[in-house]
């Protein structure tokens, strides 16, 4: 089966499994797991920050940041199709007591002008804006990358209004691989950054929340326990994260090449609508406009032919490349799409 549903389906490599088996462990709730501590130090150094916190998932990393930055009754500015909006179960409202102010971006990318227009006036009637969140790369936008100049302009607006910024960098290292900019170059513009180890980097679980505000990280540590995310001998998972950061970052470029190759193959199929130039990293979004073919039926037909993808609403579909997909499988997937859709 060629599984293009998500880069979350990756399996640990043999080398990663060996690193996990050898991991030195302790009780991380007491701060005594040496492998977790090493991973946290590594993550902070990579992003040019002072401290990091290992958490079970990217969703938890985002929600800890929102909780640590804001007060109940405030508002968080975020792009309308961001992961925080679509896929985190309303956690910002349920857990932090804040509401989300959606900004409709271009393939997930907000402009500085849009962000400034979304900031509420400081008056007795308006909801205070407590945080600005950016997702880079943007999942629902098709793996789009925020340019550094756009981030810098939004940062200037945030500074002008005294509002902190959080980067949902679940796939930050895809942006790093695509642009060759260091992670720290992106991270310097944000008070907090979360990034995921279990997507393209191939670890079985885990994310990091990173900041130079050590008091904020300690607040997040308390909230992590409150949210049920404190783990004990989690060095076994942290070892996978260390291996991923040491061995799987530069290879992300291969995933991007595979995504672009798949996009070119899809472009040759008359039934498909796709803009290959919009494929910047490892996510391919395309449409099949024919109303005679229900999205669920197309997904089922592709599965019958050995290819897994997701329908993502309307007549749109998503395919995601990752470390368990070879060039040969991309070629085979292209042939399956052509056979099913022609």
Cα dihedral across residues 319, 321, 324, 330: positive or negative: positive
CA distance 203 to 308: 21
Q: Which of 1-5, 14-18, 291-295, 329-333 has the lowest mean pLDDT?
A: 291-295
d(CA 39, CA 246): 11
* Global model pTM greater than 0.85: yes
What is the predicted pLDDT for the residue at 74? Answer: 98
Domain boundaries, the chain: 8-247, 251-341
Compute how many other C-beta atoms are within 10 angstroms of the C-beta atom of residue 177. Answer: 22
**235 vs 54: CA distance, rounded Å:** 10
| Dihedral, 186, 203, 299, 142 alpha carbons, nearest 10 | 0
- Domain 251-341 of CATH type 3.40.250.10: no
Residue 289 has a CB neighbour count (10 Å cut-off) of 11
303-312 pLDDT, tens digit per residue, is 999 999 999 9
The b/e string for 180-198 (b: 16+ C-beta within 10 A; e otherwise) is eeebebbbbbbbbbbbbbb
Q: How many CA atoms lie within 13 A of 30 on its CB side?
A: 7
Mean pLDDT, range 287-314, rounded to an integer: 96
Tell which residue, 291, 234, 284, 287, has the closest CA to residue 258.
284
Do the Cβ atoms of 171 and 281 come closer than 8 Å?
yes
Flag whether pLDDT at 173 surpasses 90.
Answer: yes
The one-character DSSP state at 326 is -
User: Which residues, in sequence order, are CB contacts of 62 under 8 Å at separation 6+?
Assistant: 83, 84, 88, 133, 166, 168, 194
User: What span, in angstroms and rounded, lies between the C-alpha atoms of 153 and 151?
Assistant: 5
Contact assessment for residue 183 and residue 194, using Cβ atoms and an 8 Å cutoff: no
Cα 308–chain centre separation: 21
Q: Tally the residues of the chain.
A: 342
Please check whether the two domains, 8-247 and 251-341, share a CATH topology: no
Instruction: Please identify, in words, the CATH class of the domain defined by 8-247.
Output: alpha beta
Tokens of 331: 């070629």
Q: Across residues 105-119, what is the average pLDDT? A: 98
pLDDT tens profile 249-277 = 999 999 999 999 999 999 999 999 999 99
Q: Say how far apart CA 283 and CA 140 lie, in whole Å.
A: 9
Region 101-121: mean pLDDT is 98
Residue 342: pLDDT over 90: no
pLDDT of residue 261: 98
Residue 313 — pLDDT band, cuts 50, 70, 90? very high
């Amino acid at each position: 089966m060629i599984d293009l549903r998500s880069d979350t389906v990756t399996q640990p490599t043999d080398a990663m499994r060996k690193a996990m088996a050898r991991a030195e462990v302790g009780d991380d709730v007491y701060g005594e797991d040496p492998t977790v501590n090493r991973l946290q130090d590594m993550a902070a150094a990579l992003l040019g920050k002072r401290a990091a916190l290992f958490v079970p998932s990217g969703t938890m990393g985002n929600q800890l940041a929102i909780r640590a930055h804001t007060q109940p009754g405030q508002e968080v500015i975020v792009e309308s199709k961001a992961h925080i909006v679509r896929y985190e179960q309303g956690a910002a409202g349920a857990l932090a007591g804040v509401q989300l102010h959606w900004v409709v971006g271009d393939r997930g990318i907000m402009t500085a002008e849009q962000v400034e227009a979304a900031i509420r006036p400081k008056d007795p009637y308006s909801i205070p804006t407590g945080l600005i969140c950016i997702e880079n790369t943007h999942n629902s936008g098709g793996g789009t990358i925020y340019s550094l100049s756009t981030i810098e302009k939004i940062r200037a607006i945030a500074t002008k209004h005294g509002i902190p910024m959080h980067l949902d960098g679940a796939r930050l290292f895809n942006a790093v691989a695509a642009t060759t900019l260091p992670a720290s170059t992106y991270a310097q513009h944000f008070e907090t950054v979360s990034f995921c180890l279990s997507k393209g980097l191939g670890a079985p679980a885990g994310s990091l929340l990173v900041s130079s505000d050590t008091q904020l990280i300690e607040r997040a540590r308390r909230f992590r326990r409150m949210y049920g995310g404190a783990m004990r001998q989690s060095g076994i998972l942290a070892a996978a994260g260390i291996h991923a950061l040491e061995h799987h970052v530069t290879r992300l470029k291969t995933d991007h090449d595979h995504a672009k190759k798949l996009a070119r193959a899809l472009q040759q199929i008359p039934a498909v609508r796709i803009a290959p130039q919009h494929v910047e990293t490892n996510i391919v979004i395309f449409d099949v406009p024919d109303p005679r073919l229900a999205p669920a039926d197309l997904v089922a037909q592709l599965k019958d032919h050995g290819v897994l993808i997701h329908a993502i609403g309307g007549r749109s579909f998503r395919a995601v490349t990752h470390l368990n997909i070879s060039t040969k499988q991309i070629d085979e997937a292209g042939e399956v799409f052509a056979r099913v859709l022609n």
